[in-house]
Structure 1
Amino acid sequence: MSTAVALNLEALRSEFPILHQTIDGNPLVYLDNAATTQKPRAVIQAITDFYTQCNANVHRGAHQLADEATRRYEHARDTVANFIGAADRSEVIWTSGTTEAINIVANGMAQQLTAGDEVLVTEMEHHANLVTWQQACLRSGAVLKVAPIHDNGALDTDAFSSLLSERTRLVALPHVSNALGTLNPIKALTAQAKAKGALVLIDGAQGIAHGGVQVADIGCDFYAFSGHKLFGPTGIGVLWGKASVLQDWPVWQTGGEMISRVSYQESSWGELPNRLEAGTPHIAGAIGMAAGINWFSQLDLAAVQAHEQALLAHATQQAQDFAGMQLVGTAPAKVGVLSFNLAGSHPADVGFLLDRQGVAIRTGDHCAQPLMRRLGVPGTARASFSVYNTLQEVDALFIALKKAQQMLA
């Protein structure tokens, strides 16, 4: 049975209202999923139901609306915990997204690092997992080390291993490169870092939507991801951390909800997860994120992964046959991301001409300027695939690219 039949793509696509529109008279071909995924009706309905049925603040009200809002909000935490295999629901900390989650860890780590300590990242980092650690090291006097990549975009694992030392306090690396689609062997890398006594944070923004994330199996201490790249809404994300690490982690923000006792002279903090969740949370976002996870979890994971690999293989073959196209990032292990440049053309011009044909991609440095400099390009055009994309949409991408190339000649 083909992957397309197994997934019933026609029925699956019908659950995404935004996909059924035209751009300048052309059917929308949405290939910017590494930036954000589209939302199924189940997510849209869950958010609407919250605001129309039980909109209230959580944990505080003495009325039925607040009770129901709290029930849905905390059930969303259970959904996330089950999805990633967390040992306890208290290990799931709501954030505004991956960036805030990484900053929570970096803020606390900066208070523990001392001069001469080392933090290890990679050349393929998104700015959120590079600048954050750069600044933490500048504040603490720690040394930021960078593991190099090969020319094809794969991590140089031998160099990574050689950079680990007894002074390595934390390793932060992406599950998947947002710019290249490189899939890192995070379980093996985590084991090496843990053998040196380092904490490990995985930037899971790009990895989470491809399924199969089990934090206990990875062995990391922190895993950060966003809802909007997992078919949920923007403005909501998760920091998962081992309870043994988070229970004494320096607080990120102070205010309501996260306290235990307050006087004019001093304050004490509550238990997990409250101690790291100050203020009124994004309640609708958490509920919507859980709805996205529930929708995704109903799919056959093996079929989803096979389908995305089929899309990538089809796109890669066409790219290799496309005169004047340079692929950027050809690591052996990749998810559905195709970064490229057309000879003699700026990525922004390519993206503009594709948009006029209804094809939505991303162009620029993808918040990875050091990576672009390492690869010797100013930026790339990037097509990124998700479960609702089709082989016909890949074909439409290359038909549009041929027209763009002719216009730019």
Structure 2
Amino acid sequence: MKLNAEKIRNDFPILSQSVNDEPLIYLDSAATAQKPLAVLDAVQSYYETSNANVHRGVHTLADRATSQYEAVREKTRAFIHAADSAEVLFTRGATTSLNWVAKSWGEANVKAGDEIVITIMEHHANLIPWQQLAKKTGAALNYIHLTADGQLDMEEAARLITNKTKIVAVTHCSNVLGTINPIKELAQLAHQAGAVIVVDGAQAVPHMPIDVQELDADFYAFSGHKMLAPTGTGVLYGKRALLEQMEPVEFGGEMIDFVYEQDSTWTELPWKFETGTPNIAGTIGLGVAIDYLNEQDRTAIHEHGQLLLQRLWPQLQQIEGLTIYGPQDIAQRTGVISFNLDGLHPHDVATALDMEGIAVRAGHHCAQPLMRELDVPATVRASFYLYNTPEEVDRFVASLQAVKEFFANGFI
């Protein structure tokens, strides 16, 4: 199946606008993806027809809302090929999901003298929770570094993951380099050492099929807003045996069984972790986003990103003074390109591109240790998704050339 990006664009009303009198080219999907009409309509429809709290009431609206909400859990289970819908926990996003694992499983199982292994390419969301856990418990925090071509050094990984390791935390796909990491191989190393593997899938789930059982991930976290769903939605997958052992990290309504004056008991999975009124409308939108991605075929989405990179890559290499970070083999990466132009600050490049109607990201991308590894303060990042077209690739390159000329010669 081949994607028709031009047709898909019609489903995204935001993409039809102009920015600075130029047609918008949105190349910041790694930060947040745009939302199709089907998702927007689903959120509005919930508020117009079914707005009630879930799990609590017996009246018609409450029953309707609960049915819609819980249907998304089963839909998500199938989407990531989990064994049981009880292994799917709804959260506010990947950051919340990762913090839950660190606070619950981590604090119960990690102690002084243990080791936590992460990678130097992690987003801060999959770094700071482990950093704080190490500080709190006295465990050591060790980093797997990169090969010369921006891939994970698997020889170093094999050395670092030992019988002292309790947790291996790794991004499935780098939000800066686009690198696709070998999760199944890392899971084997972790499990041979008696450790659990925690995967940040925020950059992978929007772009490619995910089978958490095939990967043998113990925990897998991702955000809704990067995969066409509303903001404030996310998922934590965990193997049932691990989730059963874990204590909740937030307390209050919804997650209880019985409450006594001096003690309380928790309800069953998955609800024992989900306290308070959830983001009902957003979760319903997440379900529709899953439907939309399934209709497009996620393998085709990944192949579309590869086709755009194949068009972009040789053109970028023709720009003198441009450095691309990450794997040079585009088959080893997602549709994320981080780069710098000699003598230009990334923020200046991004601002100039915005004047051309092109939205890119500039900065450290919540990956400051990786920036130090690359020996740069920041990069420009262009991230492509299913609604980007080959023509947009060409216009992006032409604008980038014009930006370079402007800073060199004062005209654009």
Greater shift after overlay, 289-298 or 299-308?
299-308
Please provide the CA RMSD for this pair: 1.0
Say which SS state the counterpart of residue 221 (structure 2) adopts.
strand
Report the TM-score when normalising by structure 1. 0.97
**1:111 alignment partner, SS class:** helix
Aligned to 2:363: 364
Q: Give CA deviations for 1:95-118 in whole Å, capped at 9, x if unaligned.
A: 000000000000011232111011
Task: Tell me: CA distance 1:123–1:342, structure 2 relative to 1, closer, same or farther (3 Å).
Answer: same
Q: Does 1:68 align with 2:64?
A: yes
Structure 1 contact 182–331 (Cα < 8 Å) conserved: no
Distance 1:300 1:269 in 2: 39
2:306 aligned with 1:309, yes or no? yes
Could you tell me how far apart the structure 1 residues matched to 2:314 and 2:29 are? 20
Q: Counterparts of 1:144 and 1:245 in 2: how far apart (Å)?
A: 22
Does residue 142 (structure 1) correspond to residue 139 (structure 2)? The answer is: yes
Within 5 Å, which residues of 2 pair with 1:294-373? 294-332=291-329, 333-373=332-372
Partner residue in 2 for 1:126 = 123
Contact 1:154 1:331 in 2 (8 A): no
Indicate yes or no: 2:269 matched with 1:269: no
Amino acid at match of 2:95: T
Any idea what SS the aligned residue of 1:10 has? Answer: helix
1:216-254 CA distance string (max 9 Å, x none): 000010000000011101001000001110012121101
Conserved? CA contact 2:38–2:288, under 8 Å: yes
Matched with 1:291 is 288
Give the drift of 1:210.
1.1
Q: Distance in 2 between matches of 1:142 and 1:331?
A: 36
2:41 is paired with a residue whose SS is helix
Amino acid aligned to 1:49? S
The SS at the match of 1:244 is: helix
Residue 146 of structure 1 aligns to a residue whose secondary structure is: strand
Answering whether residue 387 of structure 2 is matched by residue 388 of structure 1, we say yes
| d(CA) in 2 for partners of 1:206, 1:303 | 16
Mapped contact 1:258–1:278 kept (Cα < 8 A): yes
Secondary structure of the residue aligned to 1:371 is helix
- 1:131-188 residue CA offsets vs partner (Å, 9 max, x unmatched): 1100011001111110111232100000001101101101000000001100001111
The CA distance in 1 between the partners of 2:268 and 2:262, in whole Å, is: 21
How far apart are 1:301 and its partner, in Å? 3.2
Partner Cα separation in structure 2 for residue 325 and residue 362 of structure 1? 16
Counterpart amino acid of residue 48 in structure 2: T
What letter is aligned with 1:327? I
Instruction: Name the TM-score, length of structure 2 as normaliser.
Output: 0.97
Which whole-Å CA distance do the structure 2 matches of 1:54 and 1:222 have between them?
32
Deviation at 1:326, TM superposition (A): 0.8
Contact 1:118/1:168 (8 A) holds in 2: yes
**Residues in 2 aligned to 1:28 and 1:376: alpha-carbon distance in whole angstroms:** 32
1:101 pairs, out of 97, 100, 115, with 97
Matched, 1:280 2:299: no
Q: Percent identity?
A: 47
Aligned to 2:17: 21
What amino acid is the match of 1:370?
Answer: P
Matched with 2:5 is 9
Whole-angstrom CA distance in 2 between matches of 1:7 and 1:309: 12
Residue type of the alignment partner of 1:307:
H
Is 1:187 matched with 2:184? Answer: yes
Query: Deviations for 1:14-59, whole angstroms, at most 9, x for unmatched residues?
Result: 0111110101110000000100111111100110110000000001
Q: CA deviation at 1:290?
A: 0.8
C-alpha separation in 2, matches of 1:248 and 1:271: 12
More displaced, 311-320 or 77-86? Answer: 311-320
The whole-number CA distance in structure 1 between the counterparts of 2:5 and 2:19 is 22
1:38 to 34, 37, 41: 34
Structure 1: tracts of 5 or more residues without a match: none
**CA deviation after TM superposition for structure 1 residue 211, in Å:** 2.0
Q: Deviations 1:334-355 (Å, cap 9, x if unpaired)?
A: 0101110011000000000000
State how far apart, in whole Å, the 2-side matches of 1:175 and 1:331 are: 18
Q: Which residue of 2 aligns with 1:406?
A: 405
Query: Amino acid of the residue matched to residue 194 of structure 2?
Result: G
Q: Supply the distance in 1 between the matched residues of 2:297 and 2:80 (Cα, whole angstroms).
A: 16
SS in structure 2 at match of 1:279:
coil
How much does 1:331 deviate?
A: 4.8
